[in-house]
Amino acid sequence: MRKNKKERQKLLKETIKTNPFITDEELAETFSVSVQTIRLDRLELSIPELRERIKNVAEKRFEDEVRSLPLEEIIGEIIDIELDHTAISIFDVKEEHVFKRNQIARGHHLFAQANSLAVAVINDELALTAKATIQFTQPVKENNRVIAKAKVLKIDHLHGRTLVEVNSFVNNDLVFKGEFEMYRSKK
């Protein structure tokens, strides 16, 4: 049975608070209303769209975890991290990231995403790239979503080095791979 607007908005608020990753389409189905009605309700209640909610949750979750650099300096959005083990970030390629003549992403953006993820995964306040071996395997186009996955391969506390492998994908196709030798404090 349909709820009146006031009841629906109250339940909408509670539902999004419980599950911030729920889509407008799922909400519309849950409340038996149109997607447009859900969007208007969200607007009235000052509830951000899904993408912004995901970003807010990630920032709150990771701001205390990432030690090596501020979250706003990371290229892409970190969606998962386990310090000194693994990390994942998402980078959406937009018009400002591509060459105008062919809409192919400029390589430095893909490198920056991978490099900043390699820095972020280090559980140390000091993390600098000492050496990087990289390879671009396929072109990335405007409107592609690049998912970068970092994995710590080796930690050498004696010499203050950590080896991090980063692989980046578009639709499960490898587009970039890199091995980053990171300098860290000798602890």
How far apart CA 86 and CA 82 sit, in angstroms, is 5
What does the pLDDT read at residue 69? 53
- Domains in the chain (CATH in brackets) are 5-47 (1.10.10.10), 66-184 (3.10.129.10)
Tell me which residue has tokens 């506390």. Answer: 157
CA-wise closest residue to 105 among 137, 75, 140: 140
Q: What percent of the chain has pLDDT over 90?
A: 55
Q: Is the pLDDT of residue 139 over 90?
A: yes
E runs forming strands in 110-171: 127-136, 145-156, 161-170
Token couple for 63:
């701001």
What number of residues does the chain have? 187
pLDDT digits (tens, 9 = 90+) for 37-94: 999 998 898 888 877 776 665 555 555 555 555 556 778 888 888 889 999 999 999 9
How far apart CA 177 and CA 128 sit, in angstroms, is 19
How far CA 167 is from CA of 70, 86, 109, 117, 147, in Å, comes to: 22, 11, 14, 11, 8
123, 83 Cβ separation under 8 angstroms: yes
Task: Give 128's DSSP letter.
Answer: E
What is the mean predicted confidence (pLDDT) over 97-118? 96
